[in-house]
Amino acid sequence: MERGGDASSYLAKGNAYLDHGKLDLAISEFQKAVQLKPDDAKAHLGMGRAYLRKNQYDLAIEQFKEALRLKPDFAEAYGNLGNAYYCTGQYAEAINQYKKTIELKPDYAKAYLDLGTAYGQKGQYDQAIEQIKRAVELKPDYAKAHLTLGWVYGSDGQYDLAIEQFEKALRLEPGNAMAYYNLACAYSQKGRYDEAIKNVKRSLELDPEDKEARDLLTRLEKRKKLW
């Protein structure tokens, strides 16, 4: 009992460090938990999450797989494994893991968003739209889902629908610089340069260091002069 309690204490410390972005300290605590309790799936999950945030994807994948070996119905581990595959460009593998997450947690909006995003990266826009719409149905105030749905519509050349989603994201998160930037891109694609310039300027007010937004503003101002 004492050893298990010690492992739980290390796990709790690891999660606290993880929440505060102290990743190396988090890993150290999770490792201590695993040394005392090797079959603790949550400790392996925590360690994997820390490695994932350090961009050490192979180590993250290893930990998530171990968590799933110990607890095959661990929805959170499938989702994080999907994220690790996504970050390494292994979108088909990510899709498989997100689907497993949904099988275990069919009302989990983030899993549908993640699945749709992976489909979007593969250029499978119809599937992407279907999954992200499901995320929005489950969580209508999900600004990130509206933003991502707008990105998919824009990637598919459906700029009016993209604009609609970016505007919905901004109603939910008025300080979202990325939404303003994407809205500017969509207006630019439609040749509506005044609206594009207004929105990219708003993006830069919120994030003055955004080089992509700064470059977009330069291009838009040149186009407007030629228009």
In tens, the pLDDT along 114-126 reads 999 999 999 999 9
- Contacts (Cβ under 8 Å, ≥6 apart) of 68: 41, 74, 77, 78, 81
Q: Using 50, 70 and 90 to split pLDDT, how confident is the model at 224?
A: confident
Per-residue model confidence (pLDDT) at position 225:
73
Per-residue model confidence as pLDDT tens digits over 171-201: 999 999 999 999 999 999 999 999 999 999 9
Evaluate whether 111 touches 85 at the Cβ level (below 8 Å). no
Q: Using 50, 70 and 90 to split pLDDT, how confident is the model at 5?
A: low
- Contacts (Cβ under 8 Å, ≥6 apart) of 136: 109, 142, 145, 146, 149
What ranges do the domains of the chain cover? 1-90
Per-residue model confidence as pLDDT tens digits over 141-157: 999 999 999 999 999 99
pTM for the full predicted model: 0.91
Share of the chain above pLDDT 90, in %: 94
Per-residue model confidence as pLDDT tens digits over 6-63: 899 999 999 999 999 999 999 999 999 999 999 999 999 999 999 999 999 999 999 9
Q: Using 50, 70 and 90 to split pLDDT, how confident is the model at 223?
A: confident
Per-residue model confidence (pLDDT) at position 227:
64
Q: Is the pLDDT confidence value at 1 over 70?
A: no
Tokens representing residue 55 in the block: 């961009």
Mean of the pLDDT values across residues 96-114?
98
Q: Indicate the fold that domain 1-90 takes in CATH.
A: 1.25.40
Q: Is the pLDDT confidence value at 102 over 80?
A: yes
Average pLDDT, the chain: 96
d(Cα 29, Cα 6) in Å, to the nearest integer?
11
Amino acid at 216: L
Distances (CA, A) of 129 to 2, 83, 96, 154, 221: 50, 19, 17, 11, 32
Tokens representing residue 225 in the block: 């002069």
Q: Is the pLDDT confidence value at 82 over 90?
A: yes
d(Cα 119, Cα 129) in Å, to the nearest integer?
9
Mean of the pLDDT values across residues 126-142?
98
Q: Is the pLDDT confidence value at 3 over 70?
A: no
Evaluate whether 173 touches 160 at the Cβ level (below 8 Å). no
- Contacts (Cβ under 8 Å, ≥6 apart) of 100: 75, 78
Evaluate whether 140 touches 156 at the Cβ level (below 8 Å). no
Residue 215's CB is within 10 A of a number of other CB atoms, namely 11
